[in-house]
Amino acid sequence: MAIITKPVVRQASKPDSFERTLRSANTTMLFSETVRLAIDSFRASKVRFLLTMVGMIIGSASIILVVTIGLTGKQYALDLLSSIGPNMVEMQYVGGALSGPNNTSSLPDLMTKDDEAAVNAQIAGIKASSPMLEYHQPVSIGNGISKEAMMLGVSPQYKDVRNLAVIAGRFFDDQDDRSHAKVGVLVEPFARTLFGSINEAVGKKVTILGIPITVIGVFKPRVDTFGQSEIGDETMLVPYPVLRYFTSTDQVKEIFFTMKDPGDVPRAANKILALIKSRHRPTTVYKYMIMTPILKTMAQIADMLTIVLSLAAFITLIVSGTGIMNSMLANVQARIREIGIRKALGATSREIRLQFLTEAVSLSLSGGIVGTLLGLAVPVSVNLLTPFKIPISYWSAIIALSTSVLVGVIFGTLPANRAAALDPVETLKYE
C-alpha cells in the first residue's frame, strides 16, 4: 500500500528580528560615517572652524554670565530689602473725621498701647511687637550745649522688629522697661554730634526738661533705608513708659509687629487692621505697611532685567549663527567635487543634507559646550576660592546648549539644502 505524503509548503517568512537588526545597523553605520566625515572636515580646516566657533563660545558664555549676574543682583536686592523687615507689619494712624459733643472737634483717635496688647492676644503668629511714641524736645549735655532731638518711646523688642545693630554699649531690656529706668540709646550720627565718638557717648547723661537720661548704648540700622524710616540723624530711643512722663498720653503714632512666618504677613496685616479699626471710631482711618509687595516688585524687576540682558546675549548667538552659515556655504563650495563623487557612489540627497547639517550642528554645539564651561567656571571659581556665594543657574547652561543646537540647525539648513540640491553630473565636471 502506497503511502501518499503531502508536500511540505514553505511559506515566505516575514521580516524577522534579524532583518530589523540589520536595517538598524545600517542606519547606525551611516550616521556614524556622517559624524566621521564631519570630524574629518573639521580637521581639514581647523583654523576656519575654530574662528567660526568663537562667536558661539562668546554667546554661550554670555548667556551663563548674564543670568548669573542677574541672579546675583536679584539676590542682593532681595537680601537688602529683607534685612529691613520682610516679616514686619507697620500700623499707622492716617486721620479721619473728628467728632465730639455737639459735633465739635476732639482729639485725634490715635492707637494706644491697649491696641497692641489686643492684637498680641487675638492674632496668631506674632513674634514681637513694639509701640512707638514720638516726642520732639531739645536735649542738653551740659555747659549750655543743647541739640534738637526726636525721642521715640519704644519697647525692648523694637531692636529686633526694626533690625537695629547696637555698635556700642547695650540696648535697654525688659527690666529697664518694667522699672521705668531713665536710660536711652542714641543713633550713631547723633552720638558723634553730641560726644565726638560712639564709645565716649556710652555712660554719659543728657537732660530733657530737667530729667537726666543715661546713654547706655549707640545703634544704627543694619540696612540703609534711604530716609524711609522713622529713625533720623537726631534720634534717641527710650523705654516707652519713660516717654509717657513727657507726653502724658497712652496714644502712639505707630505700632510695629513682626510675624513668625513671612508668608503669613499679608493675611495677618489685614486681620490686625480690622481689629484696630473695630476698637476705634468708624470714621478714623488707619493703614498698614508691609514689605511683601516691594519684595515681589523687586523680584519682577530683577527677572525682567535678566531676560532683557539674556536677549542681548542671544543676539550674539544669532550673529555667530550667521558666521556658521557663511562658513558652511564656503565649505559646500570647496567640496563640490566630493559631493559629486558621493552622489555618484550612491549617496542620496537626504544623506548629503544630513552630512552638512551634522557638521553645522557639531560646530555650533562644540562652541556652545566650550562657552558654557567657561561661563560656569567663573561663578564656580568665585564660590570655591572666595567667601562670596554667587547663585548658579544650571538651567542657563541647558538653555545655552539648546540654543547652540537650534542655531546650528537653523543656520546650517541653507548650506545643507544647497549641497543636497547639487546636480551630480555638474559637480563631477566642476574644477
Instruction: Flag residues of the chain having pLDDT under 50.
Output: 1-15, 17-18, 20-29, 102-105, 226
Which DSSP symbol is given to 7? P
Burial annotation 125-151 (CB, 10 A radius, 16+ → b, else e):
ebebbbbbbebeeebbbeeeebeebbb
Q: Give me the residue label for grid cell 550674539.
A: 316
Residue extents of the structural domains in the chain: 37-78+297-429, 88-290
Task: Classify residue 92 as exposed, middle or buried by CB count within 10 Å of its CB (0-12, 13-18, 19+).
Answer: middle
Phi, psi of 322 (to 5 degrees): -60, -40
Nearest in space to 172 (alpha carbons), one of 227, 238, 121, 226: 238
Phi, psi of 248 (to 5 degrees): 55, 40
State the DSSP string of 301-321.
Answer: HHHHHHHHHHHHHHHHHHHHH
* Helix 292-334 with 349-385: angle, nearest 10 deg: 140
Task: Classify residue 328 as exposed, middle or buried by CB count within 10 Å of its CB (0-12, 13-18, 19+).
Answer: buried
Note the pTM of the prediction, 2 decimals.
Answer: 0.58
Count of alpha carbons within 13 angstroms of residue 261, beta-carbon side: 7
Query: pLDDT by residue (tens digit) across 270-328?
Result: 999 999 999 988 888 888 888 777 777 777 887 787 787 777 777 777 888 888 888 88
* Alpha helices for 141-223 (secondary structure H): 158-161, 174-178, 188-195, 198-201
**pLDDT score recorded for residue 5:** 43
User: What's the CA gap between 58 and 314, in Å, rounded?
Assistant: 10
One-letter amino acid for residue 115 of the chain? D
Which DSSP symbol is given to 387? S
One-letter amino acid for residue 326 of the chain? N
**pLDDT score recorded for residue 15:** 47
**pLDDT score recorded for residue 42:** 64
Nearest in space to 255 (alpha carbons), one of 411, 373, 396, 91: 91
Beta strands in 126-231 (DSSP E): 126-142, 145-154, 164-169, 183-187, 205-208, 211-221
Q: C-alpha distances in angstroms, 242 versus 4, 162, 166, 416?
A: 127, 20, 20, 85
- Is the distance from CB of 368 to CB of 325 less than 8 angstroms? no
**pLDDT score recorded for residue 11:** 46
Query: pLDDT by residue (tens digit) across 51-62?
Result: 777 878 888 888
